[in-house]
Structure 1
Protein backbone atom coordinates (compact mmCIF):
# COMPACT_ATOMS: atom_id res chain seq x y z
CA UNK A 1 0.00 0.00 0.00
CA UNK A 2 1.66 3.23 -1.18
CA UNK A 3 0.74 6.53 0.41
CA UNK A 4 2.27 9.98 0.24
CA UNK A 5 1.73 13.24 2.15
CA UNK A 6 0.89 16.10 -0.23
CA UNK A 7 -1.06 19.37 0.00
CA UNK A 8 -1.93 18.87 3.66
CA UNK A 9 -3.39 15.40 3.23
CA UNK A 10 -2.28 11.79 2.69
CA UNK A 11 -3.16 10.07 -0.57
CA UNK A 12 -3.16 6.39 -1.42
CA UNK A 13 -1.88 5.78 -4.95
CA UNK A 14 -1.08 3.01 -7.42
CA UNK A 15 1.58 3.07 -10.14
CA UNK A 16 1.84 0.63 -13.04
CA UNK A 17 3.95 0.34 -16.15
CA UNK A 18 6.62 2.38 -17.89
CA UNK A 19 6.45 5.16 -20.43
CA UNK A 20 4.77 8.57 -20.63
CA UNK A 21 2.83 9.31 -17.44
CA UNK A 22 -0.98 9.23 -17.36
CA UNK A 23 -3.03 10.02 -14.24
CA UNK A 24 -6.63 8.86 -13.86
CA UNK A 25 -8.84 11.07 -11.67
CA UNK A 26 -11.95 9.28 -10.44
CA UNK A 27 -15.29 10.99 -9.94
CA UNK A 28 -17.68 10.10 -7.16
CA UNK A 29 -16.60 8.21 -5.23
CA UNK A 30 -12.95 8.99 -5.85
CA UNK A 31 -11.56 5.47 -5.53
CA UNK A 32 -8.63 4.18 -7.60
CA UNK A 33 -10.46 0.87 -7.91
CA UNK A 34 -12.16 2.08 -11.11
CA UNK A 35 -8.86 1.76 -13.02
CA UNK A 36 -6.74 -1.38 -12.34
CA UNK A 37 -7.92 -3.35 -15.37
CA UNK A 38 -7.48 -0.32 -17.65
CA UNK A 39 -4.07 0.39 -16.13
CA UNK A 40 -2.93 -3.21 -16.58
CA UNK A 41 -3.71 -3.04 -20.31
CA UNK A 42 -2.00 0.34 -20.72
CA UNK A 43 1.05 -0.50 -18.61
CA UNK A 44 3.01 -1.76 -21.63
CA UNK A 45 3.20 1.77 -22.99
CA UNK A 46 2.49 4.21 -20.15
CA UNK A 47 3.27 4.89 -16.52
CA UNK A 48 -0.27 4.82 -15.11
CA UNK A 49 -1.10 6.62 -11.87
CA UNK A 50 -4.40 6.31 -10.05
CA UNK A 51 -5.25 7.38 -6.53
CA UNK A 52 -7.96 7.60 -3.89
CA UNK A 53 -8.99 11.23 -3.56
CA UNK A 54 -8.61 12.86 -0.15
CA UNK A 55 -10.76 11.33 2.59
CA UNK A 56 -11.89 8.56 0.25
CA UNK A 57 -11.35 4.81 0.71
CA UNK A 58 -7.66 4.25 1.54
CA UNK A 59 -6.78 7.96 1.70
CA UNK A 60 -7.48 8.96 5.32
CA UNK A 61 -9.83 11.79 6.09
CA UNK A 62 -7.86 14.85 7.26
CA UNK A 63 -8.63 15.96 10.80
CA UNK A 64 -11.30 18.64 10.83
CA UNK A 65 -11.98 18.28 7.09
CA UNK A 66 -15.68 19.05 6.66
CA UNK A 67 -15.80 20.78 3.27
CA UNK A 68 -13.85 20.81 0.04
CA UNK A 69 -13.66 22.58 -3.30
CA UNK A 70 -12.85 21.56 -6.84
CA UNK A 71 -9.71 23.69 -6.65
CA UNK A 72 -8.59 21.85 -3.50
CA UNK A 73 -9.08 18.53 -5.27
CA UNK A 74 -7.15 19.81 -8.31
CA UNK A 75 -4.35 20.99 -6.03
CA UNK A 76 -4.15 17.46 -4.61
CA UNK A 77 -3.71 16.04 -8.10
CA UNK A 78 -1.10 18.67 -8.92
CA UNK A 79 0.85 18.03 -5.74
CA UNK A 80 0.74 14.27 -6.32
CA UNK A 81 2.14 14.62 -9.86
CA UNK A 82 4.90 16.88 -8.59
CA UNK A 83 5.79 14.71 -5.60
CA UNK A 84 6.07 11.59 -7.76
CA UNK A 85 8.03 13.51 -10.43
CA UNK A 86 5.48 12.59 -13.11
CA UNK A 87 4.71 16.05 -14.50
CA UNK A 88 4.02 16.95 -17.20
CA UNK A 89 1.49 14.14 -17.64
CA UNK A 90 -1.69 13.36 -19.52
CA UNK A 91 -4.61 13.63 -17.10
CA UNK A 92 -7.87 11.74 -17.52
CA UNK A 93 -10.88 12.94 -15.54
CA UNK A 94 -13.96 10.74 -15.36
CA UNK A 95 -17.36 12.21 -14.45
CA UNK A 96 -16.77 14.47 -11.43
CA UNK A 97 -13.09 13.85 -12.03
CA UNK A 98 -13.61 15.87 -15.20
CA UNK A 99 -14.51 18.88 -13.05
CA UNK A 100 -11.28 18.45 -11.10
CA UNK A 101 -9.37 18.15 -14.36
CA UNK A 102 -10.98 21.38 -15.59
CA UNK A 103 -9.60 23.27 -12.61
CA UNK A 104 -6.20 21.61 -13.04
CA UNK A 105 -6.05 22.51 -16.73
CA UNK A 106 -7.06 26.12 -16.10
CA UNK A 107 -4.84 26.73 -13.08
CA UNK A 108 -1.81 24.44 -13.53
CA UNK A 109 -1.47 23.83 -17.28
CA UNK A 110 2.31 23.45 -17.04
CA UNK A 111 1.77 20.10 -15.31
CA UNK A 112 -0.12 18.66 -18.28
CA UNK A 113 0.65 17.46 -21.77
CA UNK A 114 -2.99 16.68 -22.42
CA UNK A 115 -6.42 16.37 -20.85
CA UNK A 116 -9.14 13.75 -21.44
CA UNK A 117 -12.59 14.65 -20.12
CA UNK A 118 -14.87 11.60 -19.90
CA UNK A 119 -18.50 12.73 -19.57
CA UNK A 120 -17.55 15.53 -17.15
CA UNK A 121 -20.43 15.96 -14.73
CA UNK A 122 -21.53 19.48 -15.62
CA UNK A 123 -25.12 18.47 -14.97
CA UNK A 124 -26.54 21.95 -14.54
CA UNK A 125 -25.95 22.95 -18.19
CA UNK A 126 -29.08 21.18 -19.50
CA UNK A 127 -32.69 20.95 -18.30
CA UNK A 128 -32.31 17.16 -18.24
CA UNK A 129 -29.30 17.44 -15.97
CA UNK A 130 -31.02 19.82 -13.59
CA UNK A 131 -33.97 17.43 -13.38
CA UNK A 132 -31.59 14.54 -12.68
CA UNK A 133 -29.98 16.50 -9.85
CA UNK A 134 -33.37 17.17 -8.30
CA UNK A 135 -34.31 13.50 -8.57
CA UNK A 136 -31.00 12.33 -7.12
CA UNK A 137 -31.33 14.72 -4.22
CA UNK A 138 -34.68 13.15 -3.37
CA UNK A 139 -33.34 9.62 -3.77
CA UNK A 140 -30.32 10.33 -1.58
CA UNK A 141 -32.41 12.00 1.13
CA UNK A 142 -34.81 9.06 1.23
CA UNK A 143 -31.96 6.53 1.28
CA UNK A 144 -30.21 8.44 4.07
CA UNK A 145 -33.36 8.23 6.16
CA UNK A 146 -33.82 4.51 5.49
CA UNK A 147 -30.24 3.20 5.50
CA UNK A 148 -27.77 6.02 5.94
CA UNK A 149 -24.79 6.82 3.69
CA UNK A 150 -24.15 3.20 2.56
CA UNK A 151 -27.63 2.83 1.06
CA UNK A 152 -27.45 6.29 -0.49
CA UNK A 153 -24.12 5.35 -2.09
CA UNK A 154 -25.51 2.06 -3.39
CA UNK A 155 -28.40 3.80 -5.10
CA UNK A 156 -26.08 6.46 -6.50
CA UNK A 157 -23.74 3.82 -7.95
CA UNK A 158 -26.63 1.87 -9.42
CA UNK A 159 -27.82 5.08 -11.09
CA UNK A 160 -24.40 6.09 -12.47
CA UNK A 161 -23.00 2.68 -13.42
CA UNK A 162 -26.05 0.43 -13.84
CA UNK A 163 -27.29 -2.53 -11.82
CA UNK A 164 -25.24 -5.10 -13.74
CA UNK A 165 -22.00 -3.20 -13.26
CA UNK A 166 -22.76 -2.68 -9.57
CA UNK A 167 -23.51 -6.35 -9.00
CA UNK A 168 -20.32 -7.42 -10.84
CA UNK A 169 -17.97 -5.13 -8.90
CA UNK A 170 -15.17 -6.63 -6.85
CA UNK A 171 -16.65 -7.03 -3.35
CA UNK A 172 -13.79 -5.26 -1.58
CA UNK A 173 -13.96 -2.33 -4.01
CA UNK A 174 -17.72 -2.08 -3.61
CA UNK A 175 -17.45 -2.22 0.19
CA UNK A 176 -14.94 0.64 0.20
CA UNK A 177 -17.23 2.78 -1.91
CA UNK A 178 -20.23 2.10 0.31
CA UNK A 179 -18.13 3.34 3.22
CA UNK A 180 -17.41 6.54 1.27
CA UNK A 181 -21.02 7.72 1.34
CA UNK A 182 -20.47 10.08 4.26
CA UNK A 183 -17.63 11.86 2.40
CA UNK A 184 -19.36 12.02 -0.99
CA UNK A 185 -22.70 13.29 0.29
CA UNK A 186 -21.57 15.10 3.43
CA UNK A 187 -18.37 16.78 2.24
CA UNK A 188 -18.01 16.72 -1.55
CA UNK A 189 -21.43 16.93 -3.18
CA UNK A 190 -22.03 20.65 -2.65
CA UNK A 191 -18.69 21.48 -4.28
CA UNK A 192 -19.28 19.07 -7.15
CA UNK A 193 -22.75 20.38 -7.93
CA UNK A 194 -21.72 24.02 -7.60
CA UNK A 195 -18.75 23.99 -9.97
CA UNK A 196 -19.32 25.30 -13.48
CA UNK A 197 -16.78 27.16 -15.60
CA UNK A 198 -18.02 29.62 -18.15
CA UNK A 199 -17.73 28.83 -21.87
CA UNK A 200 -15.14 31.59 -22.07
CA UNK A 201 -13.05 29.94 -19.35
CA UNK A 202 -13.21 26.64 -21.20
CA UNK A 203 -12.21 28.29 -24.46
CA UNK A 204 -9.08 29.67 -22.81
CA UNK A 205 -7.78 26.24 -21.76
CA UNK A 206 -4.57 25.78 -23.70
CA UNK A 207 -3.90 22.12 -22.82
CA UNK A 208 -4.57 19.81 -25.80
CA UNK A 209 -7.89 18.19 -24.93
CA UNK A 210 -10.24 15.37 -25.87
CA UNK A 211 -13.80 14.78 -24.64
CA UNK A 212 -15.30 11.28 -24.47
CA UNK A 213 -18.95 10.24 -24.25
CA UNK A 214 -20.70 6.89 -24.01
CA UNK A 215 -22.45 5.84 -27.23
CA UNK A 216 -25.38 4.41 -25.26
CA UNK A 217 -25.97 7.83 -23.69
CA UNK A 218 -26.19 9.71 -27.01
CA UNK A 219 -29.95 9.75 -27.58
CA UNK A 220 -32.13 12.22 -25.64
CA UNK A 221 -34.24 9.37 -24.26
CA UNK A 222 -31.19 7.52 -22.87
CA UNK A 223 -31.15 7.16 -19.10
CA UNK A 224 -27.82 9.03 -18.79
CA UNK A 225 -28.24 11.41 -21.70
CA UNK A 226 -27.53 14.29 -19.30
CA UNK A 227 -23.92 13.12 -18.95
CA UNK A 228 -23.43 12.82 -22.71
CA UNK A 229 -24.95 16.28 -23.13
CA UNK A 230 -22.61 17.65 -20.46
CA UNK A 231 -19.69 16.18 -22.38
CA UNK A 232 -20.93 17.78 -25.60
CA UNK A 233 -21.23 21.14 -23.84
CA UNK A 234 -17.63 20.79 -22.62
CA UNK A 235 -16.43 19.76 -26.08
CA UNK A 236 -18.11 22.79 -27.64
CA UNK A 237 -16.52 25.08 -25.07
CA UNK A 238 -13.09 23.55 -25.60
CA UNK A 239 -13.50 23.66 -29.37
CA UNK A 240 -12.88 19.94 -29.82
CA UNK A 241 -15.04 17.05 -31.11
CA UNK A 242 -16.63 14.53 -28.79
CA UNK A 243 -15.26 11.00 -29.27
CA UNK A 244 -17.63 8.15 -28.46
CA UNK A 245 -16.69 5.16 -26.34
CA UNK A 246 -18.70 1.92 -26.23
CA UNK A 247 -21.34 1.43 -23.58
CA UNK A 248 -22.61 4.03 -21.17
CA UNK A 249 -20.87 5.88 -18.33
CA UNK A 250 -18.36 3.21 -17.27
CA UNK A 251 -17.00 1.54 -20.43
CA UNK A 252 -13.93 0.25 -18.61
CA UNK A 253 -16.30 -2.05 -16.73
CA UNK A 254 -18.52 -3.12 -19.63
CA UNK A 255 -16.36 -2.95 -22.79
CA UNK A 256 -12.82 -2.97 -21.44
CA UNK A 257 -10.77 -3.99 -24.47
CA UNK A 258 -12.79 -1.97 -26.99
CA UNK A 259 -12.56 1.02 -24.67
CA UNK A 260 -8.78 0.72 -24.24
CA UNK A 261 -8.38 0.36 -28.01
CA UNK A 262 -10.00 3.80 -28.39
CA UNK A 263 -8.24 5.45 -25.46
CA UNK A 264 -4.69 4.20 -26.11
CA UNK A 265 -3.99 6.20 -29.30
CA UNK A 266 -5.59 9.29 -27.75
CA UNK A 267 -3.26 9.06 -24.76
CA UNK A 268 -0.26 8.42 -27.01
CA UNK A 269 -1.04 11.46 -29.16
CA UNK A 270 -1.51 13.71 -26.15
CA UNK A 271 1.60 12.35 -24.45
CA UNK A 272 3.62 13.49 -27.46
CA UNK A 273 2.35 17.07 -27.05
CA UNK A 274 4.63 19.74 -25.70
CA UNK A 275 3.82 20.92 -22.16
CA UNK A 276 2.05 24.25 -21.91
CA UNK A 277 3.62 27.20 -20.13
CA UNK A 278 1.84 28.45 -17.04
Structure 2
Protein backbone atom coordinates (compact mmCIF):
# COMPACT_ATOMS: atom_id res chain seq x y z
CA UNK A 1 0.00 0.00 0.00
CA UNK A 2 1.59 3.29 -1.14
CA UNK A 3 1.12 6.43 0.94
CA UNK A 4 2.86 9.79 0.92
CA UNK A 5 2.84 12.84 3.19
CA UNK A 6 1.87 15.98 1.27
CA UNK A 7 0.20 19.30 2.09
CA UNK A 8 -0.13 18.49 5.79
CA UNK A 9 -1.89 15.15 5.28
CA UNK A 10 -1.13 11.57 4.22
CA UNK A 11 -2.61 10.25 0.99
CA UNK A 12 -2.99 6.70 -0.27
CA UNK A 13 -2.31 6.52 -3.99
CA UNK A 14 -2.11 4.04 -6.86
CA UNK A 15 0.08 4.29 -9.97
CA UNK A 16 -0.42 2.29 -13.15
CA UNK A 17 1.31 2.19 -16.49
CA UNK A 18 3.81 4.40 -18.25
CA UNK A 19 3.42 7.44 -20.47
CA UNK A 20 1.90 10.91 -20.11
CA UNK A 21 0.51 11.35 -16.57
CA UNK A 22 -3.22 11.47 -15.86
CA UNK A 23 -4.66 11.97 -12.37
CA UNK A 24 -8.24 11.01 -11.53
CA UNK A 25 -9.99 13.01 -8.79
CA UNK A 26 -12.99 11.30 -7.21
CA UNK A 27 -16.10 13.05 -5.98
CA UNK A 28 -18.00 11.75 -2.96
CA UNK A 29 -16.78 9.55 -1.53
CA UNK A 30 -13.19 10.28 -2.50
CA UNK A 31 -12.01 6.69 -3.04
CA UNK A 32 -9.53 5.67 -5.74
CA UNK A 33 -11.57 2.53 -6.40
CA UNK A 34 -13.73 4.39 -8.90
CA UNK A 35 -10.79 4.28 -11.33
CA UNK A 36 -9.42 0.74 -11.00
CA UNK A 37 -10.86 -0.72 -14.20
CA UNK A 38 -10.42 2.31 -16.45
CA UNK A 39 -6.94 2.79 -15.00
CA UNK A 40 -6.01 -0.75 -15.97
CA UNK A 41 -7.26 -0.15 -19.52
CA UNK A 42 -5.42 3.14 -19.94
CA UNK A 43 -2.15 1.97 -18.40
CA UNK A 44 -0.86 0.82 -21.79
CA UNK A 45 -0.64 4.47 -22.89
CA UNK A 46 -0.63 6.66 -19.76
CA UNK A 47 0.77 6.84 -16.26
CA UNK A 48 -2.49 6.71 -14.33
CA UNK A 49 -2.60 8.19 -10.82
CA UNK A 50 -5.58 7.79 -8.52
CA UNK A 51 -5.78 8.45 -4.82
CA UNK A 52 -8.03 8.42 -1.78
CA UNK A 53 -8.73 12.04 -0.90
CA UNK A 54 -7.69 13.28 2.53
CA UNK A 55 -9.35 11.48 5.43
CA UNK A 56 -11.11 9.06 3.07
CA UNK A 57 -10.81 5.26 2.84
CA UNK A 58 -7.11 4.35 3.02
CA UNK A 59 -5.89 7.93 3.52
CA UNK A 60 -5.67 8.22 7.32
CA UNK A 61 -8.12 10.43 9.11
CA UNK A 62 -6.52 13.05 11.35
CA UNK A 63 -6.99 12.78 15.10
CA UNK A 64 -8.52 16.25 15.25
CA UNK A 65 -10.15 16.79 11.86
CA UNK A 66 -11.01 20.27 10.70
CA UNK A 67 -13.38 21.33 7.95
CA UNK A 68 -11.83 21.00 4.52
CA UNK A 69 -12.15 23.40 1.59
CA UNK A 70 -12.04 22.87 -2.15
CA UNK A 71 -8.84 24.91 -2.29
CA UNK A 72 -7.25 22.58 0.26
CA UNK A 73 -8.38 19.55 -1.73
CA UNK A 74 -6.96 21.08 -4.92
CA UNK A 75 -3.68 21.79 -3.15
CA UNK A 76 -3.57 18.11 -2.14
CA UNK A 77 -3.76 17.12 -5.80
CA UNK A 78 -1.08 19.61 -6.81
CA UNK A 79 1.23 18.53 -4.00
CA UNK A 80 0.74 14.86 -4.87
CA UNK A 81 1.58 15.44 -8.53
CA UNK A 82 4.69 17.40 -7.58
CA UNK A 83 5.86 14.90 -4.96
CA UNK A 84 5.58 12.04 -7.47
CA UNK A 85 7.26 14.13 -10.20
CA UNK A 86 4.19 13.83 -12.44
CA UNK A 87 3.44 17.52 -13.02
CA UNK A 88 2.27 18.82 -15.39
CA UNK A 89 -0.46 16.22 -15.88
CA UNK A 90 -3.96 15.90 -17.29
CA UNK A 91 -6.45 15.99 -14.42
CA UNK A 92 -9.85 14.32 -14.61
CA UNK A 93 -12.42 15.42 -12.03
CA UNK A 94 -15.66 13.49 -11.65
CA UNK A 95 -18.72 15.00 -9.94
CA UNK A 96 -17.39 16.60 -6.75
CA UNK A 97 -13.93 15.94 -8.14
CA UNK A 98 -14.85 18.34 -10.93
CA UNK A 99 -15.44 21.01 -8.30
CA UNK A 100 -11.97 20.35 -6.87
CA UNK A 101 -10.55 20.46 -10.39
CA UNK A 102 -12.05 23.92 -10.89
CA UNK A 103 -10.03 25.26 -7.97
CA UNK A 104 -6.94 23.46 -9.22
CA UNK A 105 -7.24 24.89 -12.74
CA UNK A 106 -7.85 28.42 -11.46
CA UNK A 107 -5.19 28.49 -8.75
CA UNK A 108 -2.51 25.98 -9.78
CA UNK A 109 -2.58 25.81 -13.59
CA UNK A 110 1.13 25.11 -13.75
CA UNK A 111 0.65 21.52 -12.58
CA UNK A 112 -1.76 20.81 -15.45
CA UNK A 113 -1.57 20.13 -19.16
CA UNK A 114 -5.30 19.67 -19.47
CA UNK A 115 -8.52 19.24 -17.52
CA UNK A 116 -11.53 16.94 -17.95
CA UNK A 117 -14.65 17.99 -16.04
CA UNK A 118 -17.07 15.05 -15.81
CA UNK A 119 -20.53 16.22 -14.68
CA UNK A 120 -19.12 18.58 -12.03
CA UNK A 121 -21.44 18.81 -9.03
CA UNK A 122 -22.73 22.35 -9.49
CA UNK A 123 -26.31 21.75 -8.47
CA UNK A 124 -27.25 25.38 -7.96
CA UNK A 125 -26.66 26.60 -11.53
CA UNK A 126 -30.08 25.33 -12.70
CA UNK A 127 -33.54 25.40 -11.13
CA UNK A 128 -33.78 21.63 -11.57
CA UNK A 129 -30.47 21.20 -9.77
CA UNK A 130 -31.58 23.32 -6.84
CA UNK A 131 -34.69 21.17 -6.52
CA UNK A 132 -32.61 17.98 -6.65
CA UNK A 133 -30.22 19.38 -4.06
CA UNK A 134 -33.12 20.11 -1.71
CA UNK A 135 -34.23 16.50 -2.09
CA UNK A 136 -30.71 15.19 -1.52
CA UNK A 137 -30.28 17.23 1.62
CA UNK A 138 -33.59 15.86 2.87
CA UNK A 139 -32.45 12.29 2.11
CA UNK A 140 -29.21 12.84 4.00
CA UNK A 141 -30.93 14.41 7.01
CA UNK A 142 -33.53 11.63 7.25
CA UNK A 143 -31.01 8.82 6.77
CA UNK A 144 -28.63 10.27 9.36
CA UNK A 145 -31.46 10.32 11.90
CA UNK A 146 -32.50 6.74 11.08
CA UNK A 147 -29.17 4.98 10.65
CA UNK A 148 -26.20 7.30 10.86
CA UNK A 149 -23.42 7.85 8.31
CA UNK A 150 -23.22 4.27 7.05
CA UNK A 151 -26.88 4.02 6.03
CA UNK A 152 -26.73 7.55 4.65
CA UNK A 153 -23.77 6.66 2.43
CA UNK A 154 -25.54 3.56 1.10
CA UNK A 155 -28.66 5.54 0.21
CA UNK A 156 -26.55 8.31 -1.32
CA UNK A 157 -24.68 5.84 -3.56
CA UNK A 158 -27.92 4.17 -4.61
CA UNK A 159 -29.39 7.60 -5.39
CA UNK A 160 -26.38 8.84 -7.38
CA UNK A 161 -25.41 5.68 -9.25
CA UNK A 162 -28.47 3.42 -9.21
CA UNK A 163 -29.27 0.20 -7.38
CA UNK A 164 -27.76 -2.06 -10.06
CA UNK A 165 -24.44 -0.25 -9.97
CA UNK A 166 -24.41 -0.29 -6.17
CA UNK A 167 -25.09 -4.02 -5.99
CA UNK A 168 -22.39 -4.76 -8.60
CA UNK A 169 -19.62 -2.83 -6.81
CA UNK A 170 -16.58 -4.73 -5.59
CA UNK A 171 -17.44 -5.68 -1.97
CA UNK A 172 -14.22 -4.28 -0.49
CA UNK A 173 -14.62 -1.02 -2.40
CA UNK A 174 -18.23 -0.72 -1.30
CA UNK A 175 -17.34 -1.45 2.34
CA UNK A 176 -14.70 1.30 2.32
CA UNK A 177 -17.19 3.80 0.96
CA UNK A 178 -19.80 2.89 3.57
CA UNK A 179 -17.18 3.55 6.23
CA UNK A 180 -16.51 6.95 4.64
CA UNK A 181 -19.93 8.35 5.45
CA UNK A 182 -18.87 10.64 8.27
CA UNK A 183 -15.93 12.13 6.35
CA UNK A 184 -17.85 12.47 3.09
CA UNK A 185 -20.87 14.23 4.52
CA UNK A 186 -18.66 16.56 6.56
CA UNK A 187 -17.22 17.86 3.28
CA UNK A 188 -20.57 18.08 1.48
CA UNK A 189 -21.34 21.65 2.52
CA UNK A 190 -18.02 23.15 1.36
CA UNK A 191 -18.21 21.12 -1.85
CA UNK A 192 -21.77 22.09 -2.72
CA UNK A 193 -21.31 25.73 -1.77
CA UNK A 194 -18.23 26.22 -3.95
CA UNK A 195 -19.27 28.01 -7.13
CA UNK A 196 -17.03 29.92 -9.55
CA UNK A 197 -18.42 32.83 -11.51
CA UNK A 198 -18.66 32.60 -15.30
CA UNK A 199 -15.87 35.18 -15.48
CA UNK A 200 -13.63 32.98 -13.34
CA UNK A 201 -14.32 29.99 -15.56
CA UNK A 202 -13.60 32.09 -18.62
CA UNK A 203 -10.17 32.98 -17.28
CA UNK A 204 -9.08 29.35 -16.96
CA UNK A 205 -6.31 28.91 -19.51
CA UNK A 206 -5.84 25.15 -19.13
CA UNK A 207 -7.13 23.24 -22.21
CA UNK A 208 -10.36 21.56 -21.12
CA UNK A 209 -13.11 19.15 -22.12
CA UNK A 210 -16.42 18.64 -20.33
CA UNK A 211 -18.17 15.25 -20.20
CA UNK A 212 -21.83 14.43 -19.51
CA UNK A 213 -23.80 11.19 -19.53
CA UNK A 214 -26.01 10.76 -22.58
CA UNK A 215 -28.80 9.30 -20.42
CA UNK A 216 -28.76 12.41 -18.24
CA UNK A 217 -29.68 14.57 -21.24
CA UNK A 218 -33.25 13.28 -20.73
CA UNK A 219 -35.18 15.82 -18.59
CA UNK A 220 -36.77 12.87 -16.78
CA UNK A 221 -33.42 11.41 -15.72
CA UNK A 222 -32.62 11.31 -12.01
CA UNK A 223 -29.50 13.42 -12.56
CA UNK A 224 -30.56 15.52 -15.52
CA UNK A 225 -29.29 18.48 -13.48
CA UNK A 226 -25.75 17.14 -13.82
CA UNK A 227 -26.07 17.42 -17.60
CA UNK A 228 -27.17 21.00 -17.09
CA UNK A 229 -24.20 21.64 -14.82
CA UNK A 230 -21.87 20.22 -17.47
CA UNK A 231 -23.41 22.52 -20.08
CA UNK A 232 -22.94 25.50 -17.78
CA UNK A 233 -19.26 24.68 -17.17
CA UNK A 234 -18.61 24.00 -20.88
CA UNK A 235 -20.13 27.37 -21.81
CA UNK A 236 -18.11 29.18 -19.16
CA UNK A 237 -14.87 27.53 -20.24
CA UNK A 238 -15.59 27.79 -23.95
CA UNK A 239 -14.85 24.06 -24.03
CA UNK A 240 -16.50 21.22 -25.96
CA UNK A 241 -19.17 19.09 -24.30
CA UNK A 242 -18.72 15.39 -25.05
CA UNK A 243 -21.32 12.78 -24.16
CA UNK A 244 -20.37 9.52 -22.49
CA UNK A 245 -22.59 6.42 -22.53
CA UNK A 246 -24.98 5.82 -19.66
CA UNK A 247 -25.57 8.20 -16.79
CA UNK A 248 -23.31 9.45 -14.00
CA UNK A 249 -20.88 6.53 -13.68
CA UNK A 250 -20.03 5.20 -17.17
CA UNK A 251 -16.80 3.60 -15.94
CA UNK A 252 -19.02 1.18 -14.02
CA UNK A 253 -21.79 0.65 -16.57
CA UNK A 254 -20.24 1.06 -20.05
CA UNK A 255 -16.51 0.56 -19.53
CA UNK A 256 -15.33 -0.41 -23.07
CA UNK A 257 -17.36 2.30 -24.82
CA UNK A 258 -16.38 4.85 -22.20
CA UNK A 259 -12.69 4.02 -22.61
CA UNK A 260 -12.92 4.50 -26.38
CA UNK A 261 -14.22 8.03 -25.83
CA UNK A 262 -11.89 9.03 -23.00
CA UNK A 263 -8.61 7.70 -24.40
CA UNK A 264 -8.25 10.08 -27.38
CA UNK A 265 -9.40 13.04 -25.30
CA UNK A 266 -6.69 12.36 -22.73
CA UNK A 267 -4.08 11.87 -25.46
CA UNK A 268 -4.96 15.19 -27.07
CA UNK A 269 -4.83 17.06 -23.77
CA UNK A 270 -1.59 15.33 -22.77
CA UNK A 271 0.02 16.72 -25.92
CA UNK A 272 -0.87 20.30 -24.92
CA UNK A 273 1.81 22.72 -23.84
CA UNK A 274 1.85 23.58 -20.12
CA UNK A 275 0.22 26.87 -19.20
CA UNK A 276 2.71 29.64 -18.53
CA UNK A 277 2.53 30.86 -14.92
TM-score by length of 2: 0.99
| 1:241, distance to aligned residue in structure 2 (A) | 2.0
Aligned pairs (5 A) from 1:96-175? 96-175=96-175
Rounded Cα–Cα distance in structure 2 between residues aligned with 1:163 and 1:8? 37
- Which runs of 5 or more structure 2 residues have no equivalent in the other structure? none
Q: Which residue of 2 aligns with 1:209?
A: 208
Rounded Cα–Cα distance in structure 2 between residues aligned with 1:122 and 1:89? 24
Rounded Cα–Cα distance in structure 2 between residues aligned with 1:218 and 1:79? 36
Rounded Cα–Cα distance in structure 2 between residues aligned with 1:220 and 1:242? 17
| 1:145, distance to aligned residue in structure 2 (A) | 1.1
Q: Which residue of 1 aligns with 2:194?
A: 195
Rounded Cα–Cα distance in structure 2 between residues aligned with 1:52 and 1:246? 25
1:14 to 2:10 alignment: no
Rounded Cα–Cα distance in structure 2 between residues aligned with 1:118 and 1:192? 15
Rounded Cα–Cα distance in structure 1 between residues aligned with 2:46 and 2:135? 40
Q: What secondary structure is seen at the aligned counterpart in 2 of 1:114? A: strand
The Cα offsets for residues 96-125 of structure 1, whole Å up to 9 and x where unpaired, read as 000000000000101100000000001110
The Cα offsets for residues 184-208 of structure 1, whole Å up to 9 and x where unpaired, read as 11x2011011100000000000000
Q: Which residue of 2 aligns with 1:276?
A: 275
Rounded Cα–Cα distance in structure 2 between residues aligned with 1:111 and 1:63? 30
Q: What secondary structure is seen at the aligned counterpart in 1 of 2:24? A: strand
Q: What secondary structure is seen at the aligned counterpart in 2 of 1:243? A: strand
Q: Report the number of matched residues.
A: 277
| 1:66, distance to aligned residue in structure 2 (A) | 2.6
| 1:63, distance to aligned residue in structure 2 (A) | 2.7
Q: Once superposed, which parts of structure 1, at least 4 consecutive aligned residues long, lie more than 3 Å away?
A: none
Q: Which residue of 2 aligns with 1:226?
A: 225
Rounded Cα–Cα distance in structure 1 between residues aligned with 2:255 and 2:116? 17
| 1:62, distance to aligned residue in structure 2 (A) | 1.9
